[in-house]
Structure formats: C-alpha cells, structure tokens
C-alpha cells in the first residue's frame, strides 16, 4: 500500500506539472519551470498541511498560502483547480487571456483562493509577514479563540524574492517579532532569467536568515519525506519564523531545458513538451489531461479538509454558545464595523480656530478614531515623534521589557516598523489582506517613493490600507531638497484607485481620516504638513461635511470671479492672496480641493458649482502641477514648482519661491489681463 500511495502521490505531482506546462504552452506565454520544479513541495504542503475549504476560500479558520514568486502562477492555479476551488478547467485553458480568472501573475480578488496579488518580487514575502502578524495580534485580543484560530501562514518564495530588499527588511522584522506561525519554502533552484544565480547571488541565504532570527532547514525539494519532516519541524517551532531551503530542479522533467534559464520565462515548446510527456509516460492528448486516479485523489483530500472544516464549525459554535460576547466582538472586528457617527466623533477632535500642523491635527484625530474603532492599528518607519501617529494608551507590539529574547506582546495597537519603508508598505497590505484590522503606516512624503510598489499593489488589489505621509512640501524647511517633495504628490494622484487627501486644517483632516477609514474598495494616502497652518474658516462642521466630497467652495465670489484652487498648506495662502486681490478690485473666489479623486466621483452638477465651466482658474500647490490640467484645463494659471527645493527656513523658501500672499496676488494680477 505504501508503494501504491507513493505512486499515486507522484501521479498527482505529474498532474500539477503537466497541467501547468500545458496551460503555458497553450497561452504561448508564461513560466513553466517553477511550477514543474516546485510541484513536489507544493503538493505535500497542500495535501498534508495546509488548512482550507475549497467551498469557502475566505473561511476565517483557514491557513494562508502566499505564492510570492507570482510568475509561477500556473502552479497555484493548478492546485486551486485540482483541489476543487471555483476555478474550472476552462479558466486554466484561458490562462493569460482577456477576462480570464487566470492572469499572468496571480491577483487577489480575481481568483478564488489567491490570498495576495504577487507580481513585483518580494512583495508577497512582506504580505505574508503582515498576515502572520495580524494573526498573532488577533489571538492576543481573543485568547479564548486561540484554538479555533490556530492557523498559520505558508508560502513559496524564490531566489528573486530573496534578492529584493523588501524581503530582507520584512524578514528582519519577522525574526524580531518572533512570528513562529510563518513558514516559507524557498524554491532554491539556482536559476534566474539571465542564467545561473551564481552570476549575482552567491550569499549564504541560510546564514542570513539565521542571523535574522529564523529557524532554517535544508532539504531536497523533490523528496516528499524530507519536505514533510521539514514542515512538521517548522510547525513545532513556535518562537521563530521558518525558512525551508528546498533544493529543486527548475523545469524538472523537461529533457533538455531542465535546470536552465530556457525553462524560466518561456513555454517549453511543442517538441520539448512532447518529449517530457513521453519520458514520464504521460498521454500526449488531450491537452490539460487529468488522470481519473489523480482527480479522485485530489477530491478525496478536499473532502477530508471539508470534514475538518465542519469539525471546526462545531467547535466554534460551541464557543459562541459558551461566550457569545467574545464571539460577537470577534465577528464585528472581522466585519470592520465603524460607528455611524464616526465623522462627528472625529470632527470633535479638532477645531477651526487654532493654528496647528495637519500632522498634529491628524495625531488628535487618530486617538479618537482608535477609541471609536478597535480595528484601527498602525505605526511608522521609526518616525512616530515626527508623524505623530502613535496610538496613545494603546500599547505597542514589542518585546516584554524590550529584551530581544523575551516574548512579544502582540496586544498593542502601535507598530514599530523600524527604518523599513519598503517592508512597512508590504506588511500593511498583508495586515489588510488578513482581515480584522484597518492598518496604517506612516513616514515622510518623500519616502513614499520607497513604498510605491506596495501602494500600487494596494490600489490594484483594492485593499483598505492607509498610508500617512507627513512633511509634505518644501515648507518642512532646513532639511533641504533631499527631503522636500516636489513630484511625489502629483505622481501619487496619477495612480488609479488611490485616494490622495491633502487637508488644509483640522476639520478637513478629520474628514480625510473618516473617508480613509470608510473606504473599503481601495487605499488612501493622507498627505500632511510639518508646519503650522493658519485657520481658513470658522464654519468647521459645515466645511467637514463639504470636504467629504473632495472639493468645495471655501469662499464664494460674484459671477465672473477668478477661482483660486488650492490644497493643504496653500489653501490659507489662497485665502490671503484673494484678500489682497479683492482689495485692488479683482473679484475672487476660493476653492479647497483636498481630494481630487473623491471630487471626480461627485455628480456633474455638483462639480460644475465648484468649478464653473468657462471660469478662470488659478491652481496653487507647492508641487509639480501638470496633472491639474485635467481638472482645470490648460489655460489655467498654475503656481507650483518645476524645480527642487533648497535648505532654508520655511519663510525664506516661501519668499524665494513665490509662495507668499503678495507674490501669488502679483502673479494672478499679471496673468488676468491676458485672459
């Protein structure tokens, strides 16, 4: 029987390999090598260890599986189809085609069972760290549910993942936080696109991860007993994350291309695929062939997992009966319920008469938001005192007594990412993907460049991630051009499905935070000042309601008035410049536009009342202003920056670069006669 069982398992592995290779061949595009080389370890993991229910991909008690090397997506699609997820064979047949649920790199939300969108290498690695952290934090909040929530995060990572800096940052933090519920299989095949990894990657990966505080083991990635033993050891290791270095042969089974870069990023080719099938005794026809014995084996395993799910349901139902209040709090947190009066609560944290930096207003709003919403968690890249994002009295996720060998207290709400913006973005996304939390990460706006891949994937995936960026312009002052954003603000606005809020005072900051927390279909960037801002109007409650629409008339003017449109710190500047223009007989109106994306979603009639067709517009923003043409037209006067900043006090920068009320009024007055 043992031989029969081993033979059947090998038949399942061959099914995964050739289903993947056939799909890539049919698409004439893709990466067959990694699925063929990783099929053994993927089958052992999925069949014997991974906890899931194919009928309910979002089951709260499931393990998470992250395929960080997303180019190997056909490996995951084959597993999902064979184990009975809602991914029909027709979708495998349509791999990489328009409208299919099998895109070239696996995308969360497109395909049932795909836990994370993994394209840029290393991002999935960081997502998995975030998922593992989220699970630890959930159990810390609901210790009575620890048995029911005893899930883990597994993943497969590639040499490319481990070369990327984001994975190094995330691995360092995972080791520090002792995430013993995280296990990665490293597909150590020694081949990258250009050839042997020896061209550029000769470090001792095992020693590096040991230095990070990981548990490691080297195995033959095609030996099922070694794979099983290594996974069992990783599960027993509860104090450290685990990296299993699995030596594999990329394209295993391909007669001439196995072990070479030729099998990495292109189809095998008809002749190579034919010879591979012949060598394995595999039928040449039909394509995408699944042997009946293998189909039945996958079905039987899925039934066992479904039975385990039913047992989990019984245990959870018993706990719900025994402790209904705990279960109710847990389920409410999973639903990310927000109070109906969230906007009013946050508005109560600010006023419209005090001069404060919007980062300071944000800090006040965060405290009220945290009290209103237990799901809100977050932190910064070692910049808490500057971004003002620590959740007061919420505790930190940290080692007890700050002793590295001590247990980690996961019950806190403030996260300390260290100087790791790359990893912070990926981990915030992992926290959002896990569910149960509304996470944020904070740094200076200039360092959003470090986080761009994570922000982009959050937008692509539609994650409820919040990115807080302070020190938003040249007016941070003496730190100089290396820290003064110019192109970052418009470049973030160019990203689809990212809402960028740049509030001008306390009420607008409260409205921006409320919008970010309520937005369930995509991420939000909150862009905040370092410097204090003058009040822009006393009607704070009304303005907060209008601000929620993304843009509004801050100060109306007579028909034919020139409209000064501004955001953030330049809104008060627009108000002051308008007063100077009015004093000299120029009719003006002022528009505050804290979120262009939210404004664009408003009905046409509302947008026309704010930006009347045919009106004359002046945009004032201390950044590169070209993207504003889409909103106000190419004839508008744009007062912005097309150069880098300089090291000087903020007042000197304003004077030298033309951001004083007098300078703005003068430019508008000079421009108007030509319009």
Q: Is the C-alpha dihedral spanning 35, 38, 40, 43 positive or negative? A: negative
- For residue 675, pLDDT beyond 90: no
Q: Is residue 282 part of a domain?
A: yes
Of the chain, the percentage scoring pLDDT greater than 90 comes to 94
- The reply to whether 52 and 176 lie within a common domain is yes
Phi–psi pair at 447, nearest 5 degrees: -90, 5
In tens, the pLDDT along 302-334 reads 999 999 999 999 989 998 899 999 999 999 999
Domain's final residue, options 470, 494, 527:
527
* Each residue's pLDDT tens digit, 199-247: 999 999 999 999 999 999 999 999 999 999 999 999 999 999 999 999 9
Q: Using pLDDT thresholds of 50, 70 and 90, give the confidence band for residue 5.
A: confident
pLDDT in tens, 518-542: 999 999 999 999 999 999 988 878 8
Q: What is the pLDDT of residues 104-118, one digit of tens each?
A: 999 999 999 999 999
The one-character DSSP state at 356 is: B
362-400 residue pLDDT tens: 999 999 999 999 999 999 999 999 999 999 999 999 998
**End-to-end CA gap in the chain:** 89
- Domain range for 51 is 2-307
Residue 462's pLDDT is 98
Instruction: Please count the CA atoms within 13 angstroms of the CA of 457 that sit on its side-chain side.
Output: 29
Burial class (CB in 10 A: 0-12, 13-18, 19+), 229: middle
CA-CA distance, 419 to 402, in Å (whole number)?
Answer: 18
The per-residue pLDDT for 148 is: 83
Whether 541 is covered by a domain: the verdict is no
When pLDDT is averaged across residues 655-673 and rounded to a whole number, the result is: 96
Comparing C-alpha atoms, which of 115, 118, 153, 129 is closest to residue 209? 129
DSSP summary character for residue 591: E
Q: Do the beta carbons of residue 115 and residue 108 sit within 8 Å?
A: yes
- Compute the average pLDDT of residues 602-631: 96
Q: Are residues 506 and 559 in the same domain?
A: no
Task: Give, in order, the Cα–Cα distances in Å from 179 to each of 215, 235, 409.
Answer: 11, 11, 12
pLDDT of residue 149: 85
Residues 359 and 217 in one domain: no
Task: Name the domain boundary from 527, 560, 583.
Answer: 527
Is residue 539 domain-resident?
no
Given a contact cutoff of 8 angstroms between Cβ atoms, the answer to whether 635 and 628 are in contact is no
Q: Residue 232 sits in a domain of what CATH number? A: 3.40.50.970
Torsion angle defined by CA atoms of residues 281, 284, 285 and 288, in that order, rounded to the nearest 10 degrees: 80
Alpha helices in 373-420 (DSSP H): 384-387
Helix (H) / strand (E) containing 218: strand 215-220
Beta bridge partners, 644, equal none
- pLDDT, residue 402, reads 87
Q: Are the beta carbons of 568 and 502 closer than 8 angstroms?
A: yes
Pair of tokens at residue 637: 């006067």
Q: Specify whether 106 is located in the same domain as 173.
A: yes
pTM greater than the 0.85 cutoff = yes
Backbone angles phi and psi of 64, in degrees to 5: -105, 140
Annotated active-site residue in 14, 91, 169, 421: 421
Annotation says 621 is catalytic? no
Beta-ladder partners of 549: none
Q: Quick one: tokens of 129? A: 């760290």
Three-class secondary structure of residue 85 per DSSP = coil
Task: Convert the pLDDT of each residue in 287-301 to its tens digit.
Answer: 999 999 999 999 999
Are both 239 and 137 inside the same structural domain? yes
Identify the residue with better confidence: 556 or 404.
Answer: 556
**Domain co-membership, 80 together with 139:** yes
pLDDT(1) > 60: no
Q: In terms of domains, do 566 and 635 share one?
A: yes
Orientation of helix 421-434 relative to helix 448-461, angle to 10°: 20
Phi-psi region of 253 (alpha: psi -120 to 50; beta: other; left: phi over 0): left
Q: How many CB atoms lie within 10 A of CB 13?
A: 23
Beta-bridge partners for 470: 444
543 touches 555 (CB < 8 A): no
Q: Which helix (H) or strand (E) holds 518?
A: helix 506-518
DSSP 401: G
Tell me how crowded residue 238 is: count the other CB atoms within 10 A of its CB: 10
Cα–Cα dist 27/276, whole Å:
18
Task: Judge whether 323 lies within some domain.
Answer: no
Q: Are residues 509 and 635 in the same domain?
A: no
Nearest by Cα to 631 from 618, 648, 645? 618
Position 541 scores a pLDDT of: 84
Chain-centre distance of CA 207, in angstroms? 29
Specify the pLDDT at position 7: 94
Alpha-carbon gap, residue 65 to 47, rounded angstroms: 13
Q: How many domains does the chain have?
A: 3
What was the pLDDT predicted at 2? 41
Domain final position from 283, 307, 331: 307
* Residue 602 DSSP symbol: S
* DSSP alpha helix (H) spans, 519-595: 540-547, 569-583
% of the chain exceeding 70 in pLDDT = 99
Residue with tokens 């499905």: 497
CA distance 448 to 526: 11
Same domain? For 107 and 169 the reply is yes
- Between CA 259 and CA 269, with CA 263 as vertex, the angle to 5 degrees is 130
The rounded Cα 655 to chain-centroid distance in angstroms is: 39
Averaged pLDDT, 558-587: 96
Residue from 130, 463, 138, 133 nearest 329 by CA: 138
Same domain, 474 and 389: yes
Q: What confidence tier does 544 reach under pLDDT thresholds 50, 70, 90?
A: confident
CB 433 within 8 A of CB 463: yes
Flag whether 600 is in a domain: yes
Residues 70 and 175 in one domain: yes
Query: Residues for the chain: how many in total?
Result: 675
Cβ pair 137, 411 in contact under 8 A: yes
Cα–Cα nearest to 316, from 305, 301, 308: 308
Phi/psi of residue 153, nearest 5 degrees: -115, 125
At 38-66, the pLDDT tens digits run 999 999 999 999 999 999 999 999 999 99
**Sequence-distant (≥ 6) Cβ neighbours of residue 653 within 8 angstroms:** 474, 475, 477, 645, 646, 659
Which domain CATH number covers 649?
Answer: 3.40.50.920
Q: Which residue is associated with the tokens 């279909």?
A: 521
Q: What is the largest CA-CA distance in the chain?
A: 96
Residues 496 and 574 in one domain: no
């Amino acid at each position: 029987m043992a031989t029969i069982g081993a033979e059947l398992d090998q038949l399942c592995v061959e099914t995964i390999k050739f289903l993947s290779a056939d799909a890539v061949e049919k698409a004439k595009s893709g990466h067959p090598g990694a699925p063929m080389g990783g099929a053994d370890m993927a089958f052992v993991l999925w069949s014997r260890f991974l906890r899931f229910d194919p009928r309910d991909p979002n089951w709260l008690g499931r393990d998470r599986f992250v395929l960080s090397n997303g180019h190997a997506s056909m490996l995951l699609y084959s597993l999902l189809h064979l184990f009975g997820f809602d991914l029909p064979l027709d979708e495998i047949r349509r791999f990489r085609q328009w409208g299919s649920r099998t895109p070239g790199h696996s995308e969360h939300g497109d395909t049932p069972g795909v836990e994370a969108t993994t394209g840029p290498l290393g991002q999935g690695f960081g997502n998995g760290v975030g998922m593992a952290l989220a699970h630890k934090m959930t159990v810390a909040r609901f210790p009575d549910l620890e048995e029911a929530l005893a899930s883990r995060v597994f993943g497969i990572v590639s040499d490319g993942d481990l070369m990327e800096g984001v994975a190094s940052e995330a691995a360092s933090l995972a080791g520090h936080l002792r995430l013993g519920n995280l296990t990665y299989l490293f597909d150590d095949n020694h081949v990258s696109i250009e050839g042997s990894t020896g061209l550029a990657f000769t470090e001792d990966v095992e020693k590096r991860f040991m230095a990070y505080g990981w548990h490691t083991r080297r195995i033959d990635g095609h030996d099922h007993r070694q794979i099983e033993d290594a996974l069992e050891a990783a599960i027993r290791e509860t104090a450290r994350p685990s990296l299993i270095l699995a030596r594999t042969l990329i394209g295993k089974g391909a007669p001439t291309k196995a072990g070479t870069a030729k099998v990495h990023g292109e189809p095998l080719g008809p002749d190579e695929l034919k010879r591979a099938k012949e060598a394995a005794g595999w039928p040449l026809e039909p394509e995408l062939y699944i042997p009946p014995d293998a189909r039945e084996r996958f079905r039987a395993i899925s039934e066992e997992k479904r039975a385990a799910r039913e047992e989990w349901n019984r245990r959870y139902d018993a706990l719900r009966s025994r402790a209904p209040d705990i279960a109710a709090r847990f389920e409410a947190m999973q639903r990310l319920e927000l109070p109906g009066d969230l906007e009013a609560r946050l508005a109560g944290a600010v006023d419209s008469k005090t001069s404060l930096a919007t980062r300071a207003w944000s800090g006040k709003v965060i405290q009220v938001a945290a009290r209103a919403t237990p799901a809100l968690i977050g932190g910064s890249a070692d910049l808490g005192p500057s971004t003002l994002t620590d959740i007061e009295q919420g505790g930190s996720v940290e080692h007890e007594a700050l002793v590295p060998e001590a247990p980690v207290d996961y019950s806190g709400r403030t996260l300390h990412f260290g100087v790791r913006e790359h990893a912070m973005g990926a981990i915030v996304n992992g926290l959002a993907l896990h569910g149960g939390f509304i996470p944020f990460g904070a740094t200076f706006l200039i360092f959003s460049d470090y986080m761009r891949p994570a922000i982009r994937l959050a937008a692509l995936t539609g994650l409820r991630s919040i990115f807080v960026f302070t020190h938003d312009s040249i007016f941070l002052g003496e730190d100089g051009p290396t820290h003064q954003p110019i192109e970052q603000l418009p470049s973030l606005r160019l990203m689809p499905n990212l809402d960028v809020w740049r509030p001008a005072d306390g009420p607008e900051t409260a409205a921006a935070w409320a919008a970010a927390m309520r937005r369930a279909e995509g991420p939000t960037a909150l862009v905040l000042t370092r410097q204090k801002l003058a009040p822009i109007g006393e009607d704070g409650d009304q303005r907060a309601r209008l601000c929620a629409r993304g843009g509004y008339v801050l100060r109306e003017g007579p028909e034919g008035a020139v409209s000064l449109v501004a955001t953030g710190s330049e809104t008060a500047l627009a108000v002051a410049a308008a007063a100077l223009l009015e004093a000299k007989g120029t009719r003006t109106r002022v528009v505050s536009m804290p979120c262009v994306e939210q404004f664009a979603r408003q009905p046409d009639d509302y947008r026309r009342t704010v930006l009347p067709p045919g009106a004359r517009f002046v945009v004032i923003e201390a950044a590169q202003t070209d993207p504003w043409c889409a909103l106000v037209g190419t004839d508008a006067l744009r007062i912005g920056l097309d150069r880098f900043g300089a090291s000087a006090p903020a007042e000197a920068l304003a004077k030298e670069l033309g951001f004083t009320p007098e300078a703005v009024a003068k430019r508008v007055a000079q421009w108007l006669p030509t319009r």
